Structure 1
Amino acid sequence: MKLQFCSSKSVVILLAIILSNSIFAGKISGTVKQEGTVNPVQFATVTLIRSADRGIEMGQMTDNDGYFELLNVPAGDEFRIEVKFIGFDSYWTKPFSIDSDENQFIDFGDIFIKQGVLEGDLIEVNADRPLYEVTVDKKVYVIDQMKTTSGGTCCDVMKKVPSLDLGPNGEISFRGSENVAVLVNGKRAGILGDERKSCAVAIPIPAAMIDRVEIITSPSAEYDPDGMTGIVNIILKEDKVSGYNGDLSINIGSTNKLNLGSTLSYRNNKLHLFSKFSTEMLEQRGNGYRVTNAEDREDYRNVKDNKLYFINLGSKYDISDRMLFASEAKFTRYYRNTLDSTYSSHIDTIYVDSQGDGFAQVYELGLYTNFLNDSKLALELSYDGQVKDENRNADGTASHDSSGYNLDLSKMILRADYYHNLSDNLQYEAGYKGRFNTHNKNYDTDNSTHVFQYNENIHALYGTVTFALTEKLQSKAGLRFEQVLASVFLDTTGTLIETPNNYDHVYPSAHLAYIFSPYSNLKFGYSTRVNRPELKMLDPFPQNQYISEVDSVGNPDLKSEFVDAFELSYALTQDKYKTDLGLYHHNIKDVILWDDDIDTVTYNNSGRGSLNGVDIMLKVSPLNFWDLTFTGNYYESKISGGTEDDQNGSTSGGIIRGISMFKIPSGGDLELSGTYKLPKEIITGTVWPDGQYTLDMAYQVSLFDDRLKLTCKVIDILDSDIYEQDITETTDDGDFHINSYRKYDQRTFYLTLLYKFGNI
């Protein structure tokens, strides 16, 4: 993992110092160090928090030796200490109190904090971790605090993260664009699907296994440049306590939905073994219609039946105090069946039965070394393999038609990262990453066969330098070079035809952070990103040919889009509220546009584009038992230089989310979560002409010393989660108006049980 803006004075959390009037007062001290080393962590935030109301009693930053000392701590009250530093996970002590006569001085000794995971002898995951955190380089959302995701799927989580949205079929978008990179524990793996863009439906990880979601809007050069609008990093939970530990979960939905999950781990001083298992059996029933100005109306009925099984096995072994070896394997098996019915007055009823099954396997090895000279080296090797079969049968056309394909996908990633802390004010990082991808897709229809093969090898070198210009001003500069060797192979006649697409590109990045105080900071980021074409955009075989929607025909000569991304943000934390405001601007080159008529869409590179937008977050705590969080995003994109009139113009839209969380005095937590999507104005019309609003509710109670959590929730209370659009296509025969409506699922009531066992 990387130290983002790891200069010693980086901090974004509130430090509220309240003077005590107590007659008896104590002293608390300790030294904060980086785990695996003897290096002190300077300027880490140490906060003394009251257990009763979660209020902040006092706090300070560690000195040059990592030492802190809290004076005048009132006696009698119960407290916990939280230690935070940018790039590290929070550390919480167990509850303690100052006695009026004996226990007036508490020395915690060395407190070790670790990057990426929460570990330590005194560590205890705090049930009251904040829902939303802002660091110098990312925004973090704690999933356990989102009660309406309890027992749910990855789709449920993605729907609740601010500025994220899901398309009609589970496509993840951020700031109005699907050009976002989705990672799991910082890695892109086969469990994310076979396309470049990630579909939340394809991610087998249940919400119960997700610790937090990180949004990185301006990634630096050590990250892959994929994802024009940024990176969504899903961080999984990891057991921190020695001995045997685990949990069991069950989630039952009223609309034929069932989720089961379990984790089990064993940890001693040198070895950590863990396993995760989950299964999903979900049914979705939807309906919709499509009306044109020719007074043609088509009505749809849709039933989806998805079954998914996921197993994750792994181990970590401390070879020495400074060397760790890790291995991990993930297996996913899924079955999907979709029955679409299309009714119309001018054609026979069409029934399309689509069936798919697939198997994905991921293997990962890692060797991590901390050297005595305050540097570290990470070596990683991973292999993803995936096979997938899809078949579609259509009845009701002039004759019975069928089609299908077989997919064989393999990916190998080799990477080496070296980090060196030269001084308190200067750090650098360098590395290599190789990605070797092969994609084979064989179609089989009633009339022909078609073979599509895509090979892509990407070699990347990067370097970053982090430097503190002054005590308050920090900087980070980076450069990444990529060599891409890619080819499309097509076979429709028994002969493979190759279309090469090789290119080199340099991706610079630059970041500045100005720390006004421990309570506020201003950040600027610049990075160059890329949007490589989706594989379906390269594949010329027609898609969706048996339902009365538009066929998609790919273009093997399609090139990548490149973007220069700029971002400016300001964060402020006060006792009762927290706010974060961000502005962003993107310049896009070689925009991928579509050439279309009423029945066919293909793709080309034409014109330039821009994206402008604003993000805002406001969290307030009107009362000790009540938290309110509001988030919003508004964006506008423009395209010029397209070859057709309906390619040029602007698109605008936005999304507002609100979460109200209550602590019930008699026990339990109540959450109300609402979302409003503004009407989305696109070049050819409007999506959600009247806007779209949804409301969810959940109540959660903990029993038996927090070993059992019971959650009751209702998703889509108003039964209003729909997709609607009103567009006009311009053709040689005049304007063609289309109004369409889709509802993909129903209001659902859930009951969720989570039981933890072991040394929790």
Structure 2
Amino acid sequence: MKNYFILFVLSVISIASIAQDRSQGRRGYDMSNFNGVVTGKVVDSLDRTPVEYATVALYRQKDSSLVTGSLTDESGKFIIEKLKPGRYYAEIKFIGYETRRIGGIAITPRSPNINLETCSILAANENIEAVVVTGEKKMLLHNLDKKVFNVDKDVSVEGGTAADVLENIPSIEVDTDGNVSLRGSSNVNILIDGRPSMLTSMDELPAQMIERVEVITNPSAKYDPDGNTGIINIVIKKRKEPGYNGMVSFNAGSGDKYSAIASMNWRQEKVNLFASYSFRKGEMNRYSLGNRVTFFENTTDSSFLDQNSTGQAKMMFHNIRGGFDFFLDNKTTLSFTGNLNFRSFDMGTDLFSNSYNNFNSDFLQNNRITNNGYDGLGHEYSLNFKRKYDIAGKEWTADVFFSRRNNDFLSDISEEEIFNSITSPDVFERATNDDWMNAFTAQTDYVAPIGNGGRLETGVKAFIRKSDADYVYNVFNTSGNIWEYDATRSNHFIYTEQIFSAYGIYSNTFADGKFSYQLGLRVEDQLAKSELKNTNTVADTNRLNFFPTAHIRWEPSNAHSFQLSYSRRVNRPYSRVLNPFLNTSDKYNWSQGNPYLEPEFTSSIDLSYNLNLRKTKVTASVYYRDTRNGFSRNMKVLTQDDLNAMGFDTLGYFPTLSTFINLSHYENWGSEFVLTQNIAKWWRINASYSYYYSKLYGDVVSGADEGSSWNVKLASYFTIGKNVDLQVRGNYRAPSVTVGGSGRGFHMIGGAQGETKEMFWFDLGARIYVLKRKGTITVNVRDIFDTRKLKYSSWDTNFYSYNENWRDSRMIFVGFSYRINNYKMRQTKNNEMDDSFDIIE
């Protein structure tokens, strides 16, 4: 009995103590200041990459009522704050992925902070029970403000360049000279790793060095507003896996074309080192023909000019890239990247011209032989600092970037002229151009969660650029056997620009996470100065501009989403079209810049819809752009009165003069449609259709003030067994009239004075995996039917011209690549896996 009594007393004391502790616990916590927090990171279950802009909604366990929510940041992290004690569950949603529910979330006074750590979500068309290993990325992803194109999936670009990669992406077009346009306009800002690059051509960058391409038609305020139609950001490969991994690749093509790439990455504890080297060598034959008819005022008299040319270019590129990431701790990283680029061109061109008229028997023949030599050196350096914090989604970065480009150009010209069977003495000329450009960027950005599930991004940036081009023209004096300086055709032009900017962005969700939005504003102050040293002509500009942006997305279900976006952008004239020097080096085609050319400003609205089913992916969009002060090339045939006013005597021929002018404004409407369809386990297709319409206002010639165009791209992928992929790709581009035409500078075609003609071509590619899939053999045939020619016409009240340009386009490439320690196998569903244009919003 005594023992039972002692046990009873101890039980009472224990119960009382527990009750007292709980009572004191309740009294000890100030619930008015209580702040429960749930954090975590959302990643793709297949490749473990962060999922940005996924919605994380928190519900009460007892009645499933929505409490609050948050958006993931670019690293996939999220934070939900100001939670009261209780039991909750979370739902993670992102279009194209299965909704994931996470239960058992208990917020208590003793455990106010819950870290869900890494939360993986499964793509809607994947089967978690499948055991076949492929480990492939999706080819096309959609985020709130950009589309991401993974290059690894495109068989047809193996052995090619960045130009080949871009022309296979919906909405992007690349002409035969490598000029890039987006949604029918060449006014697009092309970046390398998020920064302007010293690359002078997309042909300098091998396709195998590219990891992905981001297409941003309505960029947020975080990005520079340059480029009326948006931004194309090319992201270079850089691995961070532990240990050593690398890749070597060799390619050979018809026409003496060769390329090689070697890259490596080494990660050990706090240091990650990476380096790559690429080499390209090739020859390219170029051809052109053209004719022009000039009409004389108030008469039936006309003059005619027929021209054709052949040329061969020899090209050599070397690119060395390297750097390191130093992880100061698990939240702080310091990175350095350097890039060195050597490039050389040698090109010889024979141009034959015949000039005649219908009112006398005069006949002028001209043969101009030009041998150009070009050597360039570019180097870029970036230093980057990144700091993450214990609060998920909070991040601070600081970046410094410097680049310099040097170009040395030499052109030797010999000219033979026959007028009415009388041969003139040969003329020998030499042009040299020594130019350089420096660019410096410093910026800092800060991201932090704010309020109830919101996110705030802000930053400041300084950009300083200076270019110097010294163009010297000499004529050979045969009697004195010396080269004489020609001041009338030489010029020295200097351009400096400073842009200081700041931006702010706020993003959040509402309505149970079905709606997400982003609002931003960027402010820029531009200071620019152009100076023609020969004539001491100086033009100064000082502009303060505001660039608002807005994005909103509605996801009624996992299969459907709608998005509406707006941005204001700018296209600033670059130095070449600002230089007021009159260039008469080509006697039949003169050019002169306009130092008072104003930037053009564009307001853009984009509405898109995305459908994501198991075997079918569809994205459709419509857009509208209104551009003020739109500038375009203006070309006219000079009359004798014009020549007299410019100080020229009778030449015996009438050259064209090209310059740039501002139109009052122009409008663009357009639509896009992209389809990805799995037809069978071994066959899938990607198809895209783009339509755009342009209406021009201002100094526009009749018949070129409006027009429409469209293009179609179709790719068909076949899987044969486990180790063979085949790809057939076709492109068709309809005739078009656009304000800027295509091309750059004075080489623009079409525009407000004409149109480009239709163009089409087909490519074929095959990829074979060998050596346990560590090695790859590729075979590609470009432009199978040799149909890729650029045709265009221009006209005004007193002339009409037609031209065709083409180069070697039917080519065969054979390549081999080998991967070292970097091929990761993951579980996913075989054959049903869509590795083409997987559309995820």
Give the structure-1-normalised TM-score. Answer: 0.83
Q: Given residue 448 of structure 2, which amino acid in structure 1 is its aligned partner?
A: H
Where do residues 698-713 of structure 1 align in structure 2 (5 Å cutoff)? 698-713=765-780
Hey, what does 1:327 align to over in structure 2? 336
Alpha-carbon distance between aligned partners in 1 of 2:398 and 2:127, rounded to the nearest angstrom: 32
Match of 1:307 among 316, 319, 328: 316
Alpha-carbon distance between aligned partners in 2 of 1:275 and 1:97, rounded to the nearest angstrom: 35
Deviation at 1:484, TM superposition (A): 0.5
> Judging changes above 3 Å, is the alpha-carbon distance between structure 1 residues 557 and 299 closer, same or farther for their aligned structure 2 residues?
same
Q: Which runs of 5+ in 2 are unaligned?
A: 1-49, 58-71, 81-88, 107-118, 294-302, 355-363, 417-425, 475-485, 638-655, 738-749, 824-841
1:730 aligns with 2:771: no
Cα deviation code 1:269-312 (max 9, x no counterpart): 32110001101112111222112344542221021111110000
Cα deviation code 1:463-518 (max 9, x no counterpart): 0000213221121111110011111111115xx44310111001111111111111
Hey, what does 2:579 align to over in structure 1? 539
> Judging changes above 3 Å, is the alpha-carbon distance between structure 1 residues 656 and 648 closer, same or farther for their aligned structure 2 residues?
closer
> Judging changes above 3 Å, is the alpha-carbon distance between structure 1 residues 9 and 629 closer, same or farther for their aligned structure 2 residues?
farther
CA contact (8 A) 1:180 1:227 kept: yes
Hey, what does 2:495 align to over in structure 1? 454
CA contact (8 A) 1:8 1:424 kept: no
> Judging changes above 3 Å, is the alpha-carbon distance between structure 1 residues 694 and 42 closer, same or farther for their aligned structure 2 residues?
farther
Match of 1:571 among 610, 633, 648: 610
1:524 aligns with 2:564: yes
Cα deviation code 1:670-699 (max 9, x no counterpart): 0001100112245544422xx221000011
Moved more, 355-364 or 594-603: 594-603
Deviation at 1:44, TM superposition (A): 4.6
Hey, what does 2:815 align to over in structure 1? 752
Alpha-carbon distance between aligned partners in 2 of 1:392 and 1:355, rounded to the nearest angstrom: 6
1:614 aligns with 2:623: no
Moved more, 358-367 or 465-474: 465-474
Q: Given residue 396 of structure 1, which amino acid in structure 2 is its aligned partner?
A: E
Deviation at 1:441, TM superposition (A): 0.8
Q: Given residue 351 of structure 2, which amino acid in structure 1 is its aligned partner?
A: T
> Judging changes above 3 Å, is the alpha-carbon distance between structure 1 residues 554 and 296 closer, same or farther for their aligned structure 2 residues?
closer
Match of 1:434 among 455, 462, 466: 462
Where do residues 170-569 of structure 1 align in structure 2 (5 Å cutoff)? 170-190=178-198, 192-193=199-200, 199-201=201-203, 204-293=204-293, 294-345=303-354, 346-374=364-392, 375-397=394-416, 399-423=427-451, 425-446=453-474, 447-448=486-487, 449-471=490-512, 472-493=514-535, 496-543=536-583, 545-547=584-586, 550-569=589-608
Match of 2:802 among 729, 739, 743: 739
Higher relative contact order (CA 8 A, sep 6+): 2
Match of 2:165 among 154, 157, 172: 157
Deviation at 1:366, TM superposition (A): 0.7
> Judging changes above 3 Å, is the alpha-carbon distance between structure 1 residues 9 and 614 closer, same or farther for their aligned structure 2 residues?
farther
Match of 1:629 among 686, 689, 694: 686
Alignment size in residue pairs: 667
Alpha-carbon distance between aligned partners in 2 of 1:478 and 1:304, rounded to the nearest angstrom: 46
CA contact (8 A) 2:56 2:93 kept: no
Hey, what does 2:788 align to over in structure 1? 721
Q: Given residue 678 of structure 2, which amino acid in structure 1 is its aligned partner?
A: S
Alpha-carbon distance between aligned partners in 2 of 1:411 and 1:708, rounded to the nearest angstrom: 40
Alpha-carbon distance between aligned partners in 2 of 1:372 and 1:590, rounded to the nearest angstrom: 48
SS at match of 2:226: coil
> Judging changes above 3 Å, is the alpha-carbon distance between structure 1 residues 340 and 131 closer, same or farther for their aligned structure 2 residues?
same
Hey, what does 1:110 align to over in structure 2? none
Cα deviation code 1:594-632 (max 9, x no counterpart): 443121111232311111111110111110111100012
Alpha-carbon distance between aligned partners in 1 of 2:104 and 2:186, rounded to the nearest angstrom: 45
> Judging changes above 3 Å, is the alpha-carbon distance between structure 1 residues 666 and 512 closer, same or farther for their aligned structure 2 residues?
closer
Hey, what does 1:76 align to over in structure 2? none
Moved more, 258-267 or 289-298: 289-298
> Judging changes above 3 Å, is the alpha-carbon distance between structure 1 residues 324 and 438 closer, same or farther for their aligned structure 2 residues?
same
Alpha-carbon distance between aligned partners in 2 of 1:418 and 1:574, rounded to the nearest angstrom: 37
Deviation at 1:63, TM superposition (A): 3.9
Alpha-carbon distance between aligned partners in 1 of 2:127 and 2:320, rounded to the nearest angstrom: 33
Alpha-carbon distance between aligned partners in 2 of 1:251 and 1:369, rounded to the nearest angstrom: 41
> Judging changes above 3 Å, is the alpha-carbon distance between structure 1 residues 666 and 328 closer, same or farther for their aligned structure 2 residues?
closer
Deviation at 1:136, TM superposition (A): 2.7
Q: Given residue 182 of structure 2, which amino acid in structure 1 is its aligned partner?
A: F
> Judging changes above 3 Å, is the alpha-carbon distance between structure 1 residues 317 and 95 closer, same or farther for their aligned structure 2 residues?
farther
> Judging changes above 3 Å, is the alpha-carbon distance between structure 1 residues 505 and 685 closer, same or farther for their aligned structure 2 residues?
closer
Deviation at 1:396, TM superposition (A): 1.3
CA contact (8 A) 2:240 2:272 kept: no
Alpha-carbon distance between aligned partners in 2 of 1:597 and 1:36, rounded to the nearest angstrom: 55
1:693 aligns with 2:760: yes
Alpha-carbon distance between aligned partners in 1 of 2:215 and 2:283, rounded to the nearest angstrom: 30
CA contact (8 A) 1:183 1:231 kept: yes
Deviation at 1:159, TM superposition (A): 1.7
Q: Given residue 465 of structure 2, which amino acid in structure 1 is its aligned partner?
A: N
Q: Which runs of 5+ in 1 are unaligned?
A: 11-31, 48-55, 68-80, 99-123, 194-198
Deviation at 1:551, TM superposition (A): 2.3
Alpha-carbon distance between aligned partners in 1 of 2:186 and 2:371, rounded to the nearest angstrom: 27
SS at match of 2:707: strand
Moved more, 668-677 or 130-139: 130-139
1:148 aligns with 2:148: no
> Judging changes above 3 Å, is the alpha-carbon distance between structure 1 residues 638 and 35 closer, same or farther for their aligned structure 2 residues?
closer
Q: Given residue 540 of structure 2, which amino acid in structure 1 is its aligned partner?
A: P
Alpha-carbon distance between aligned partners in 2 of 1:596 and 1:59, rounded to the nearest angstrom: 57
SS at match of 1:188: coil
CA contact (8 A) 1:285 1:746 kept: no
CA contact (8 A) 2:438 2:466 kept: yes
Alpha-carbon distance between aligned partners in 2 of 1:525 and 1:603, rounded to the nearest angstrom: 31
Alpha-carbon distance between aligned partners in 2 of 1:367 and 1:65, rounded to the nearest angstrom: 37
Alpha-carbon distance between aligned partners in 2 of 1:502 and 1:66, rounded to the nearest angstrom: 56
Match of 1:659 among 703, 715, 739: 715
CA contact (8 A) 2:633 2:658 kept: yes
Give the structure-2-normalised TM-score. Answer: 0.75
Deviation at 1:454, TM superposition (A): 0.6
CA contact (8 A) 1:7 1:424 kept: no
Deviation at 1:456, TM superposition (A): 0.4
Deviation at 1:372, TM superposition (A): 2.3
Task: Please identify the structure whose Cα radius of gyration is greater.
Answer: 2
Q: Given residue 311 of structure 2, which amino acid in structure 1 is its aligned partner?
A: N
CA contact (8 A) 1:36 1:370 kept: no
> Judging changes above 3 Å, is the alpha-carbon distance between structure 1 residues 747 and 213 closer, same or farther for their aligned structure 2 residues?
same
Hey, what does 2:701 align to over in structure 1? 645
CA contact (8 A) 1:343 1:349 kept: yes
Alpha-carbon distance between aligned partners in 2 of 1:740 and 1:38, rounded to the nearest angstrom: 56
CA contact (8 A) 2:52 2:74 kept: no
Alpha-carbon distance between aligned partners in 2 of 1:498 and 1:575, rounded to the nearest angstrom: 62
SS at match of 2:366: coil
Alpha-carbon distance between aligned partners in 2 of 1:59 and 1:244, rounded to the nearest angstrom: 34
1:131 aligns with 2:139: yes
Alpha-carbon distance between aligned partners in 2 of 1:304 and 1:33, rounded to the nearest angstrom: 47
Alpha-carbon distance between aligned partners in 2 of 1:238 and 1:601, rounded to the nearest angstrom: 44
Alpha-carbon distance between aligned partners in 1 of 2:190 and 2:766, rounded to the nearest angstrom: 30
Deviation at 1:450, TM superposition (A): 1.7
SS at match of 2:222: coil
Q: Given residue 402 of structure 2, which amino acid in structure 1 is its aligned partner?
A: Y
SS at match of 1:680: coil
Q: Given residue 337 of structure 2, which amino acid in structure 1 is its aligned partner?
A: E
> Judging changes above 3 Å, is the alpha-carbon distance between structure 1 residues 367 and 276 closer, same or farther for their aligned structure 2 residues?
same
SS at match of 2:730: strand
